[in-house]
Amino acid sequence: MNNDPSSHGLWEASAPAAPSTHPLTGRINVDVVIIGAGFTGLSAALHLAEGGASVAVLEAVDIGYGGSGRNVGLVNAGMWVKPNALPGVLGDKHGPRLLKLLGEGPSLVYDIVERHGIDCQAVRNGTLHCAVGTTGLNDITDRANQWKALGAPVRLVDAKETAGLTGTNAYLGSLLDMRAGTIQPLAYVRGLASAAIAAGARIYSQSPVAQVEEVGERWRLRTQSGAEVFAKWVLVATNAYTGPSGIWPQLATELVRLPYFNMATRPVNSKDRASILPGLQGVWDTKDVLSSYRFDRTGRLVFGSVGALRGTGRAIHHAWARRALAKLFPQLQGIEFEYEWYGWIGMTRDSLPRFHRLAKNTISFSGYNGRGIAPGTTFGRELAKLVLGHTTDEDLPLPVSEVKPVTLRPIREACYEVGSQIAHAAGARF
């Protein structure tokens, strides 16, 4: 995308083509204008259009250009924060509500995929959160107990069964969550776009917003090329790809951007595939600098971790990935990586997303902390319900909050990038 093979890698190479879009020209009037064509923006567009609203989506680059088209593709339930902690952070009203909503998030994703026939390699066989060391085992045991108390279909798996499910003896156990699964994320977000267009939404790519102005009871948004949209409502869905010098730059100040990369092997032969992830679950581990992996439809193993594939990090992360993969799966030692890509995750100080009212009839959700697929799809639907008048602020899963900038944000981001290089330079050595 944008002639950069390291932006979307395997996902761009294997996703069905995006629906035809073009830059906005001239002047249009709609009920709602959405900024950003990712999971949140396109889910909102789909549900708004299905609800009878006229919708325009303005995307600065292309559909799925941001984190929605770059992530590993794990469709997980909930957030990073443990279930029992949510009421303490969000209160007794919003905490349980968010738990229920995001616990059902994967079902919404897979229902949309099925209802609209989205070809995105959807597999719903669960995900495995794998324990590294006793600290990791204690963590997933606690998570399992908390989710089971809420009736979630999760199961704590011992080391022996985990080895059979993953194909490696590296873990002391795992948490199997049957609500979850995997998708090809760029294919999914492009499918969301096609579904939204079929429902009546209009999507304009290469249309970055340059100016927003209140004109009477409506907003006027002008793109860099001079085209204009007039709308009653504005939904901002730019998350970690919010421009620091663009419109609503304050949204970027509350997010610390964490880099995450993925590498995809050539297709693994059938013999080795039979011994690695035979149930096709997606995996991530409990390390602070975590790793993740899953198969795609063609048998490529997609293997990733924290870090940016640029500068000195490129060689360091490449070398680490080769060592780590060989240590987990000796049968894959020497296998080539055919694709590589990376992007940015928006992290908040408490690992929970934010709902903001930025101005009159101007609202946003952001800060998914690496859990963008199900929460983004879900929050997009909730934004649509709010605009359509089906709900109010009091019904939302998050309270309205003010944007609070993170202190020392550039230093924190540098620590993520440099720290991952330090960890990977020494990690996974024999």
Phi/psi for 78 (5° steps) reads 75, -170
Q: Residue 209's pLDDT is what?
A: 96
Report the pLDDT value the prediction gives residue 430, as an integer from 0 to 100: 40
Q: What is the pLDDT of residue 132?
A: 97
Task: Please give the Cα distance from 152 to 397 (Å, whole number).
Answer: 19
Q: Supply the pLDDT for residue 429.
A: 55
| Extents of the domains making up the chain | 5-126+179-426
**Residue 400 φ/ψ, nearest 5 degrees:** -65, 130
Cβ-based neighbour number of residue 214 at 10 Å = 12
- pLDDT for the residue numbered 428: 66
Mean pLDDT per 10-residue interval, the chain, length 430 residues: 86 97 98 98 98 98 97 95 90 92 96 98 98 98 96 97 98 98 98 98 97 96 97 97 85 96 98 96 96 98 97 96 96 96 95 95 94 96 98 93 94 96 81
Compute CA distances 309 → 243, 325, 326, whole Å.
Answer: 21, 17, 20
37 and 218 Cβ atoms separated by less than 8 Å: no
CATH number of the 5-126+179-426 domain: 3.50.50.60
The token pair at 103 is: 């616990």
Find out whether 153 and 254 touch, Cβ atoms under 8 Å.
no
Closest by CA to 47, choosing from 107, 116, 96, is 116
Q: Is residue 309 within 8 Å of residue 317, measured between CB atoms?
A: yes
